[in-house]
C-alpha cells in the first residue's frame, strides 16, 4: 500500500469527489480517460458518478467486503461467508458459475441476490486481464483508515497523517535496504509459497514447446492449459496478477525453467526501492510559517446529516457501563421514593417525587 493522496472535505458529495479526482488525474498524469487504471472504492455514490464523468475507461471495482456486508443482512448464516468469498475470488467464469451453483444449493435466493449486485465490479472472474491487481477488497483503505483513527480527532493543521506518512516511508526504506535488489518482495514470496505448495496436486502434460496441460489430481479434477510464452493460464490468475498460479509453476518446473523469470517486475525489490526513493521533506513548526495574505478560512456551517440524529455521540470505553436510560432512572427514583416513604402505590410515589422536585432550587 502506498497512500498517494488524501483530502479533508466538508462533506462527501459529487462536487468534492470531482474536485479530488480532477487533482488526482493531474498529479498522476492519467491520460486517455483512465484506460489501464484500476480504482477500488466502497460504493460511495458521489464517487461513482464522478468516475463515470472523468475516468470512464478506468476499471472501477467495488470492495467485495462491502458487497458481502450488505448481502449478509439477508443471508446471515456463517457457512455462507466462505461460499461468497469463493465466488469473489474465482479467477475465471466457469469457476465463478460453479461456485455460484454451490451457493444456490444452500440458498437459491442468495445466489440470485448476488447477481443483482453486478459481480463484474467485484468478482475476480470479470476483471480485465493485465491490470496486475487481483484485489477484490479494499483492505488497503481499511488499513489507511485504521492508521488515521487518532488523526481524526485533530483539527486539520495538527492532523497526524503527514507524520505517519513520513514515518511509513522511512520504515519501508530502511526495511528494504536489507533486501537483495535481485529478489522479489517478501509478501509476494509468501503468496508464491502457497501456490508452490499446491503444485503437489497438479499433474502436468507438456507438448514439448510452450503448451502445457495441467490437471488437478484432487478436488474436482479440473484441468487447465498453460502457455509460458504468453504468460497465460486458462484458470485466469497468471495473466490477471502477473504472478504464476500453481498450474503455471507446475509447467515451469516441468520445463526446467526458473520461476523468477515469470514474475512481473512490479513485484521486485528493485521496484519497491524505487517507490520509496522519494520521501517527505521535514516541515517547520507552524510558528515559522509565512503569514498568508489570503482571506482566513471560515469554519463550515452546520450540516445536518441524513438519518435519525444520535443522542449520545461519545464512544464509551470497553467495559464502561452504558448510559443510564431516562425511563430506567425514573423507575429507580420511584422505587427509592416508595421505599423511603413507604408509599404503597405508584401514584403516591410519583406525587412524593414531584413534591420533592418542586422544593429543589432550580
Question: Toward Zn ion, which CB reaches closer, 124 or 247?
Answer: 247
Cell of 268: 521486485
Q: Which of 50, 87, 202, 235 binds Zn ion (CB under 5 A)?
A: 235
Question: Toward Zn ion, which CB reaches closer, 21 or 90?
Answer: 90
**Smallest Cα–Cα separation from 88: which of 48, 59, 116, 126?**
126
Stretch that binds Zn ion, among 200-208, 238-246, 296-304, 338-346 (CB under 5 A): 238-246
Q: Which of 245, 252, 263, 269 binds Zn ion (CB under 5 A)?
A: 245
Cα–Cα distances in Å, from 24 out to 28, 42, 54, 135, 141? Answer: 6, 18, 11, 21, 16
Say how far residue 162 (Cα) sits from the centre of its chain. 21
Q: How far is the CB of 192 from Zn ion (least distance, A)?
A: 13
Question: Toward Zn ion, which CB reaches closer, 165 or 198?
Answer: 198
Question: Toward Zn ion, which CB reaches closer, 68 or 238?
Answer: 238
Stretch that binds Zn ion, among 75-83, 235-243, 293-301, 345-353 (CB under 5 A): 235-243
Question: Toward Zn ion, which CB reaches closer, 34 or 244?
Answer: 244
Structural contact between residues 25 and 37, judged by C-beta atoms closer than 8 angstroms? no
Size of interface with Zn ion, in residues (CB under 5 A): 4
Should residue 233 be labelled a site residue for Zn ion when binding is judged by CB under 5 A?
A: yes
In the chain the beta strands, taken as DSSP E runs, fall at: 38-41, 59-62, 202-206, 211-216, 223-227, 232-233
Should residue 247 be labelled a site residue for Zn ion when binding is judged by CB under 5 A?
A: yes
Q: How far is the CB of 206 from Zn ion (least distance, A)?
A: 15
Q: How far is the CB of 233 from Zn ion (least distance, A)?
A: 3
Q: How far is the CB of 241 from Zn ion (least distance, A)?
A: 10
Which 8-state DSSP code applies to residue 34?
G
Pairing of strands 211-216, 223-227: antiparallel
d(CA 48, CA 118): 14
Question: Toward Zn ion, which CB reaches closer, 169 or 233?
Answer: 233
Pairing of strands 38-41, 232-233: unpaired
Should residue 91 be labelled a site residue for Zn ion when binding is judged by CB under 5 A?
A: no
Question: Toward Zn ion, which CB reaches closer, 55 or 243?
Answer: 243
Should residue 30 be labelled a site residue for Zn ion when binding is judged by CB under 5 A?
A: no
Sign of the dihedral through C-alpha 304, 308, 313, 315: negative
Question: Toward Zn ion, which CB reaches closer, 119 or 244?
Answer: 244
d(CA 90, CA 96): 5
Q: Which residues contact 182 (CB under 8 A, 6 or more apart)?
A: 268, 269, 270
Stretch that binds Zn ion, among 55-63, 173-181, 243-251, 257-265 (CB under 5 A): 243-251
Stretch that binds Zn ion, among 162-170, 230-238, 269-277, 334-342 (CB under 5 A): 230-238
The SS3 assignment for 61 reads strand
Q: How far is the CB of 39 from Zn ion (least distance, A)?
A: 26
Should residue 89 be labelled a site residue for Zn ion when binding is judged by CB under 5 A?
A: no
Stretch that binds Zn ion, among 55-63, 120-128, 242-250, 327-335 (CB under 5 A): 242-250
Stretch that binds Zn ion, among 108-116, 233-241, 284-292, 318-326 (CB under 5 A): 233-241
Question: Toward Zn ion, which CB reaches closer, 39 or 126?
Answer: 126
Cα–Cα distances in Å, from 293 out to 283, 296, 297? Answer: 20, 8, 12
Q: How far is the CB of 211 from Zn ion (least distance, A)?
A: 14
Q: Which residues contact 132 (CB under 8 A, 6 or more apart)?
A: 240, 241, 242, 264, 266
d(CA 111, CA 178): 48
End-to-end CA distance of the chain: 58
Q: How far is the CB of 248 from Zn ion (least distance, A)?
A: 6
Q: How far is the CB of 193 from Zn ion (least distance, A)?
A: 16
d(CA 339, CA 101): 65
The binding site for Zn ion (CB under 5 A) comprises 233, 235, 245, 247
Amino acid at each position: 500500500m502506498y497512500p498517494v493522496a488524501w483530502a479533508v472535505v466538508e462533506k462527501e458529495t459529487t462536487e468534492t469527489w470531482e474536485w479530488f479526482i480532477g487533482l488526482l488525474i493531474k498529479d498522476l498524469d492519467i491520460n486517455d480517460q483512465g484506460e489501464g487504471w484500476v480504482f477500488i472504492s466502497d460504493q460511495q455514490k458521489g464517487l461513482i458518478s464522478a468516475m463515470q464523468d472523468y475516468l470512464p475507461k478506468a476499471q472501477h471495482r467495488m470492495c467485495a467486503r462491502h458487497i458481502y456486508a450488505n448481502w449478509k443482512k439477508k443471508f446471515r448464516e456463517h457457512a455462507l461467508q466462505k461460499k461468497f468469498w469463493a465466488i469473489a475470488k474465482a479467477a475465471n467464469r466457469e469457476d465463478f458459475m460453479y461456485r455460484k451453483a454451490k451457493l444456490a444449493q444452500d440458498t437459491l435466493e442468495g445466489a440470485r441476490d448476488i447477481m443483482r449486485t453486478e459481480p463484474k465490479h467485484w468478482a475476480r472472474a470479470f476483471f480485465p486481464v493485465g491490470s496486475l491487481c487481483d484485489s477484490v477488497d479494499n483492505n488497503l483503505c481499511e488499513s489507511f483508515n485504521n492508521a488515521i483513527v487518532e488523526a481524526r480527532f485533530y483539527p486539520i493543521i495538527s492532523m497526524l497523517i503527514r507524520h505517519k506518512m513520513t514515518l511509513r516511508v522511512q520504515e519501508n526504506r530502511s526495511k528494504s535496504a536489507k533486501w537483495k535488489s535481485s529478489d522479489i518482495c517478501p509478501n509476494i514470496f509468501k503468496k508464491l509459497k502457497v501456490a508452490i505448495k499446491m503444485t503437489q496436486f497438479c499433474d502436468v502434460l507438456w507438448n514439448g514447446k510452450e503448451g502445457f496441460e495441467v490437471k488437478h489430481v484432487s478436488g474436482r479434477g479440473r484441468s487447465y492449459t498453460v502457455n509460458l510464452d504468453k504468460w497465460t493460464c486458462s484458470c485466469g490468475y497468471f495473466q490477471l496478477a502477473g504472478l504464476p498460479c500453481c498450474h503455471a509453476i507446475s509447467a515451469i518446473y516441468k520445463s526446467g525453467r526458473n520461476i523468477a523469470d515469470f514474475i512481473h517486475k512490479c513485484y521486485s525489490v528493485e521496484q519497491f526501492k524505487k517507490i520509496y526513493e522519494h520521501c517527505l521533506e521535514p516541515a517547520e513548526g507552524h510558528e515559522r510559517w509565512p503569514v498568508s495574505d489570503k482571506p482566513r478560512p471560515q469554519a463550515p456551517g452546520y450540516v445536518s446529516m441524513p438519518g435519525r440524529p444520535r443522542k449520545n455521540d461519545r464512544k464509551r470505553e470497553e467495559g464502561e457501563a452504558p448510559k443510564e436510560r431516562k425511563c430506567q432512572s425514573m423507575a429507580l427514583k420511584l422505587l427509592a421514593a416508595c421505599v423511603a416513604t413507604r408509599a404503597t402505590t405508584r401514584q403516591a410515589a410519583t406525587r412524593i417525587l414531584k413534591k420533592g422536585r418542586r422544593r429543589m432550587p432550580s
